[in-house]
Structure 1
Amino acid sequence: AGKSSLVNGILRLVNRSCIYGNILIDDIDISRITLNHLRSHISVIPQQPILFSGTLRYNLDPFDHYTDEQCWTALEDVQLKKFVKSHSDGLLMCIAEW
């Protein structure tokens, strides 16, 4: 309960007058951070996974901000590197929802 309200407050999607008190991240009041900077450093992970039709690489990094090495590190962090390496296409394996 309250997850949506929390996200709305952190992303400053609600009017400041609707919030009682301050929201601090690392002791910094988020009202002092520009919206662009704040929102570009926060990610929301939905409860239902979303897959894009395309490659695993594209699903890991749809905006092409990271190197292959960084993608492999992420896969290693979640213990999927060995599985993906065992596939002949590796990061380029096709992903689709059925």
Structure 2
Amino acid sequence: MFNIQTENSKEMQYIMASGKSVTFQDPLSIDGQLMTNEFATFNRGIAATGNTLALRLRVKADSGSEIFGLRNINIFGEAASDVVNVPEPDHRAIFLCAALGLLLRKR
């Protein structure tokens, strides 16, 4: 879905949570955009159909200082035409089922 690669000929300056500025070699880029230590939003459409979506992230790192994080993955889709919406029961039906369950339990 996304082209994630190491930019071997570049370095990137990052501001740590402490406020300290550090420089690291070989920053990552996603679709050509260099990654910072701030989360960024990326969108991608998938022209396919199905009822299962599997997301897999495979990462191979060559040192102990690489970090990659994902947050708030949102998946949007359109309902198939054969989907039937089932209405939710109102509070009276739920109460009636609970009362019947209690009556049957006492027997």
Superposition TM-score, scaled by structure 1 size: 0.22
Greater relative contact order structure (CA < 8 Å, 6+ sep): 1
> If each structure's helix is expressed as a fraction of its own residues, which one has the higher value?
1
> If each structure's strand is expressed as a fraction of its own residues, which one has the higher value?
2
